Chain A
Amino acid sequence: MIIIIQHFIGQSPSLSLSFFLRISRVSNLIYEFQFVVSRCLKYVDRIVSATQEVVIFHSGSRLRAAGTIQEMSSRGFSVEDSDEENDYENHVTRKPNRFRKSYYDEDDDDNDVNGRYIRSNSRRNHRDDNDEDEPRYSRQSSNVRRSGENFVPKSLDRDREYDQNTRSVRQPTTAWASGRREDRSDTDPDNGRSWNRAAPRGDRRDSNPDKRASWRAPSDDEDDRPRSRNGYHQSSERPNRPPPRGDRPVNNYSRRNYDEEDSPNQYGGVREESRSRSNSNSHRPPPREYSEDENDYNRTPHQSHQQIVRRPQREFESTRESTPTIDDDLLSDDGNGADHIKQEHDLHDRQVVDVAGVMRLGNSISFVSLCPANGGTTDLVQCVILRDRMNLVEGTLYPTYKLYLENKMKLLITAQKMNLNTTSNYHLFDMTRGTLGGTLSKKSGNYLGKLRAHDSHR
């Protein structure tokens, strides 16, 4: 594999990728290459195989060098000293936070891998038992972090400042003084550790695999990946020692492999612990590892997201249940009538159904001023005019006319002839809206308009 990669030094990585993919179709043996290359896509800088670690340095879009760590160090390629460091760091800054963070956290540790495990487990239990000791650790960690700032390259330091700015807690000491329980993800370095992050991963895989597929790169702890067929999982084949100190900033993937694969018992133990805790204390908030994620900066907790989504629905349902709409309130009779009429097949009734539909639509515009729907295609809207001459004295001279829809006898318009006028003058009132006190005046909202006669002779 190294030979192949070295063959493509000086070429663009996409070219070498296409070559790898072509090879991988040939046989399953070289399927490993595809896996490596897919990693190459995501994290071009560093490739880890089961037996050897391969580093690819690239400047711009060209592959520059490739080989195992020993080879590269012997050649003079080391991350801290060589010129490739700049390229590497520039690439690192563009990566997701996960990469950056674990990279950063490894600066704090001077211990062995197993020793770190033991220490972190003990620390974790201690923290869970009594919360009072918690600030001490966080203060320690902050001290460690401050001391560790010297080792971090400039670009990483800049990123960290950015992270602190994006997060709300910028001064962790105030949080300790007030004694509030805050999101300890900022002050606690343990949450950022790779082993700590690895713990809930199995659960998460079961819970929502889609999300995992979205945010995760092809990582080491996949069960169904093709490497497991070749038996590269066995820890006997792998070097059971941490890489040298000088390579640590580059050594991210190898370290992750150690954490997750070389010590399966401890890993499983941690996972079981977290499960039992969550089962025993159901009222407690979920373990911090769940919320503490690589993409946690932009990600909200799942429950809160659901609440945000559901809230408007509930409001809508409650409003629907409590208060009926204006349509139902105003025109309930016509709505029922329309449903009833639809069953019949009378021609005239169907026309009236259309009218009712228009009435339901036209709440903003009064139905009276609307033409029937569908223009000239509908048949005639049938109405009845009743002349009211109840008042014997004035009724004969100035009667009121009322326009009804014939089907339901719904009052639409009332017309009154204004008296004491030389030319006739009719005031028309919209009766589909309610009238206050039954009095119709020109200034009430029911006033539609008037019909005025002209005297052409005068």
Chain B
Amino acid sequence: MILIGECFLANFLLLLFLSLYRTEYSIVTRAEEREEVGAVIFERVGIINQLKEGCQPRKMTVLVPNLNAESEPIPHKVIKKFGQKKSLVDMIKNSETGRMFLLKSKEPVYENGNYRLNFHGRVSVPSVKNFQLSSPDDPAHVVCQFGKVGEDRFHLDYKAPLNAFQAFSIALCHFDT
């Protein structure tokens, strides 16, 4: 069990500032037409709630398209339907995920003023960036976990519905925010 986050004032202000703008991410392939392989949305916390309750762990939602027979994700083509573009982010917002993989960050357990998650020894430094991804139906089944080990060293473990590209870009979202 490892500490997730300890709030400092500067960190808090930075996070507050960033959370206003950078809350939605989409993973785009290199194809000419816009094709998305994943989407990440961070739950936006209001300023009043943050002032009230302090810094809370991030809540993240990830949507990943299905896999084909070669275990490669089928890219989602962003096409205008009825005058509206429907990207994966919009699908998360409208909760029209269909048969895609919807993953959510695992909620940590609050103990003694610290939020704790079990990383099985893979993470050694408490950080805001640490997270574990699992489906909301089965929270015990962890698909992806990311945590800080050193100053510039992080561990990223991932599993089947995610590939390296998706998992790495999800981790990059955490670097960014």
Is there contact, CB below 8 Å, between B168 and A381?
Answer: no
A446, closest chain B residue (CB):
B30
Contact of A368 among B122, B149, B165, B176 (CB under 8 A): B165
What is the CA–CA distance of A374 and B161 in the complex, to the nearest angstrom? 10
B82 part of interface (Cβ distance < 8 Å): no
A376 part of interface (Cβ distance < 8 Å): yes
What is the CA–CA distance of A379 and B30 in the complex, to the nearest angstrom? 29
* Binary per-residue interface labels of chain A (357-383) against chain B in the complex, 1 for a CB within 8 Å, 0 otherwise: 000000001011111111111111111
Is there contact, CB below 8 Å, between A453 and B160?
Answer: no
Is there contact, CB below 8 Å, between A385 and B168?
Answer: yes
A426, closest chain B residue (CB):
B172
What is the CA–CA distance of A428 and B152 in the complex, to the nearest angstrom? 19
User: How many B residues touch the partner, as a band?
Assistant: 35 or more
What chain B residues lie within 8 Å of A382 (beta carbons)? Answer: 122, 155, 157
Give, as a whole number of angstroms, the nearest-CB distance from B106 to chain A: 14
Contact of A457 among B20, B25, B30, B146 (CB under 8 A): B20
What chain A residues lie within 8 Å of B25 (beta carbons)? Answer: 451-454
A210 part of interface (Cβ distance < 8 Å): no
What chain B residues lie within 8 Å of A385 (beta carbons)? Answer: 146, 153-156, 168, 171
What is the CA–CA distance of A455 and B22 in the complex, to the nearest angstrom? 6
What is the CA–CA distance of A452 and B142 in the complex, to the nearest angstrom? 25
What is the CA–CA distance of A456 and B93 in the complex, to the nearest angstrom? 12
Give, as a whole number of angstroms, the nearest-CB distance from A132 to chain B: 71
Binds A, one of B4-12, B45-53, B70-78, B109-117: B70-78
What chain B residues lie within 8 Å of A423 (beta carbons)? Answer: 21-22
A295 part of interface (Cβ distance < 8 Å): no
A153 part of interface (Cβ distance < 8 Å): no
What chain B residues lie within 8 Å of A450 (beta carbons)? Answer: 27-28
What chain A residues lie within 8 Å of B146 (beta carbons)? Answer: 385
B164 part of interface (Cβ distance < 8 Å): yes
Give, as a whole number of angstroms, the nearest-CB distance from A447 to chain B: 5
Q: Which residues in window 48-66 of B have CB below 8 A to A?
A: none
Is there contact, CB below 8 Å, between A389 and B152?
Answer: yes
User: How many A residues touch the partner, as a band?
Assistant: 35 or more
B128 part of interface (Cβ distance < 8 Å): no
Is there contact, CB below 8 Å, between A412 and B160?
Answer: no
What chain B residues lie within 8 Å of A412 (beta carbons)? Answer: 164, 168
Is there contact, CB below 8 Å, between B71 and A381?
Answer: no
What chain A residues lie within 8 Å of B157 (beta carbons)? Answer: 380-383
What chain B residues lie within 8 Å of A365 (beta carbons)? Answer: 70, 72
A458, closest chain B residue (CB):
B21
What chain A residues lie within 8 Å of B152 (beta carbons)? Answer: 386-389
Is there contact, CB below 8 Å, between B172 and A415?
Answer: yes
B127 part of interface (Cβ distance < 8 Å): no
Is there contact, CB below 8 Å, between B160 and A372?
Answer: yes
Is there contact, CB below 8 Å, between A376 and B160?
Answer: yes
Contact of A370 among B71, B156, B171 (CB under 8 A): B71
Q: Please name 6 further chain A to chain B contacts, defined as beta carbons within 8 Å, in addition to the given A369-B165, A428-B168, A452-B28, sorted by A numbering.
A: A375-B160, A376-B159, A382-B122, A415-B169, A428-B169, A453-B25
Interchain Cβ contacts under 8 Å between A and B, 27 examples? A365-B70, A367-B164, A368-B164, A369-B72, A369-B164, A371-B72, A371-B163, A372-B160, A373-B71, A376-B141, A377-B160, A380-B142, A380-B157, A380-B159, A381-B158, A381-B159, A383-B156, A386-B152, A412-B164, A413-B168, A415-B172, A426-B176, A449-B37, A450-B28, A452-B28, A454-B26, A457-B21
Chain B residues at the A interface, C-beta cutoff of 8 Å = 20-30, 37, 67, 70-73, 89, 122, 141-146, 149, 152-165, 167-169, 171-173, 175-176
Which 7 A-B pairs have CB atoms at the shortest separation, nearest pair first? A380-B157, A454-B24, A387-B152, A385-B154, A451-B169, A449-B29, A371-B71
